[in-house]
Amino acid sequence: MPLMRSWVASANDAGCDFPLNNLPYGVFSTDPQDARCGVAIGDQVLDLAAVEAAGLIALSDAPVFDLPYWNDVMDLGPEAWAALRALLKDMLKEASPDQAQLAPFLVPLSEVRLHLPFVVSEFTDFYASRHHATNVGTMFRGAENALPPNWLHMPIGYNGRASTVVISGTQVRRPCGQIKPPEADAPRFAPTEKLDIELELGAVVGVSSPMGTRLSVAEAEAMIFGYVLLNDWSARDIQAWEYQPLGPFQAKAFATSISPWIVTAEALAPFRAAAPDPDVPLLPHLQAPGPLLYDIDLSVLMAPEGGAAEVIARTNYAELTYGAAQQLAHHATSGCAMNAGDLLGSGTISGAAPDARGSLLELTWNGTEPLTLKDGTERRFVEDGDMLTLTGHAAGDGYRVGFGACAGQILPALEP
């Protein structure tokens, strides 16, 4: 698919994250009391609350954009989502007769504050990258027990915390917790010394399913509203002590950062990619009816406090084994109710190459092979003051569908 040209000139630049092909959804404010829905186009955000108030868009009898979340639009369902996109593309395309009416509702991105784009109903995190699962399993349990036997048959996950999902730019405090190195006789309570990131994509569920209902993978795919970048901050020393037998708890409960713009499944459709064939055939209820992944280039950047950001890892969403639709279908196999606003973390995305690993745990091999930054300092894990940024985009012919950035800076721990 070629670039779709817009009368918003900056949207036609080849390096722009937000061309007309993308139209990602966010929540913005110019006055903190008045956060509302908008769509990014070029270096602008179109104020959809104002467009709706002017009578140029009417998705529902009640206003759905003069709200600080997209959940009410999700509730209208996939037909309304498609109608909204068709209308926005028509109004924002080059030579659209709507230009004169819409132009006053554009606000420069440089002048807005961005907020969480939806109310996160619940957060579930998965473990869908074979390279990541193998690397972590090797470090935590040894090479012979690296990949758990269930991993080949289903997308492994755990229920995380929606309460600490935060928008890009939010500072994250280094957590304290119980730490017990293997050589110690007893645990101590202390700030984590192994603060880490996890490079993930988050799928936003847009349609609810009632308790007692199972979902096919195809049904699940149609329920996905869009995707955000997701950094599942982790404390590896706390995790290593607490995770058996019920999985991660405080090691991952302190913060999860997401990017401000929901990139829709429709915008990503031209970039579909298939997962590798599974080692063993999946049971019928998890088999993919078609390609479920997308070709999305992903990067991790690190900047020491006051220093320049540099890329420390680069990988691709298509490295995963399970897609979000399989994860959502698996989530509902028992009859678990799913809700619009549920956030499903893909799991850390790692490729085969050493610099394609989506966590510092893997990049530095649990701190034994430190990275050297351009300022000469070494990193085994994240230090206080460091800024970690995830970026991602799918590359089209002369344009890109970008996610923007998912950034967070680490504050020192409170007194233990």
The binding track of 159-198 with respect to Ca ion, each residue x by CB under 5 A or -, is ---------------------------------------x
Residue number, 27 or 344, with CB nearest to Ca ion? 344
With a CB cutoff of 8 Å and minimum separation 6, the contacts of 313 are 199, 299, 300, 355, 356, 357, 358, 363
Residue number, 236 or 400, with CB nearest to Ca ion? 236
342 binds Ca ion (CB under 5 A): no
Residue number, 198 or 386, with CB nearest to Ca ion? 198
Secondary structure in 3-state letters for the chain: CECCCECCHHHHCCCCCCCCCCCCEEEEECCHHHCEEEEEECCEEEEHHHHHHCCCCCCCCCCCCCCCCCHHHHCCCHHHHHHHHHHHHHHHECCCCCHHHHHHHEEEHHHCEEECCCCCCCEEEECCCHHHHHHHHHHHHCHHHCCCHHHHCCCCEEECCCCCEEECCCCEECCEEEECCCCCCCCEEEECCCEECCEEEEEEECCCECCCCCCCHHHHHHCEEEEEEEECCEEHHHHHHHCCCCCCCHHHCCCEEECCCEEEHHHHHHHEECCCCCCCCCCHHHCCCCCCEECCEEEEEEECCCCCCEEEEEEEHHHCCCCHHHHHHHHCCCCCCECCCCEEECCCCCCCCHHHCCCHHHHCCCCCCCEECCCCCEECCCCCCCEEEEEEEEECECCEEEEEEEEEEEECCCCC
Q: How far is the CB of 172 from Ca ion (least distance, A)?
A: 15
Active-site option among 131, 132, 331, 393: 132
Segment lying near Ca ion (by CB under 5 A), choices 7-15, 111-119, 229-237, 321-329: 229-237
Residue number, 44 or 239, with CB nearest to Ca ion? 239
Q: How far is the CB of 338 from Ca ion (least distance, A)?
A: 19
Residue number, 69 or 126, with CB nearest to Ca ion? 126
Number of residues that bind Ca ion (CB under 5 A): 3
Q: How far is the CB of 293 from Ca ion (least distance, A)?
A: 17
Residue closest to Ca ion when measured from CB atoms: 232
Q: How far is the CB of 164 from Ca ion (least distance, A)?
A: 13
132 is catalytic: yes
Q: How many Cβ atoms from other residues are within 10 Å of residue 412's Cβ?
A: 11
Contact in structure between 265 and 227 (CB atoms under 8 Å): yes
Segment lying near Ca ion (by CB under 5 A), choices 159-167, 224-232, 254-262, 402-410: 224-232
Segment lying near Ca ion (by CB under 5 A), choices 28-36, 59-67, 231-239, 278-286: 231-239
Q: How far is the CB of 289 from Ca ion (least distance, A)?
A: 26
Segment lying near Ca ion (by CB under 5 A), choices 35-43, 232-240, 274-282, 311-319: 232-240
Contact in structure between 22 and 40 (CB atoms under 8 Å): yes
Q: How far is the CB of 256 from Ca ion (least distance, A)?
A: 8
The binding track of 88-127 with respect to Ca ion, each residue x by CB under 5 A or -, is -------------------------------------x--
Residue number, 132 or 393, with CB nearest to Ca ion? 132
Q: How far is the CB of 349 from Ca ion (least distance, A)?
A: 10
Residue number, 127 or 225, with CB nearest to Ca ion? 127
232 binds Ca ion (CB under 5 A): yes
Residues that bind Ca ion (CB under 5 A): 125, 198, 232
Active-site positions read 132
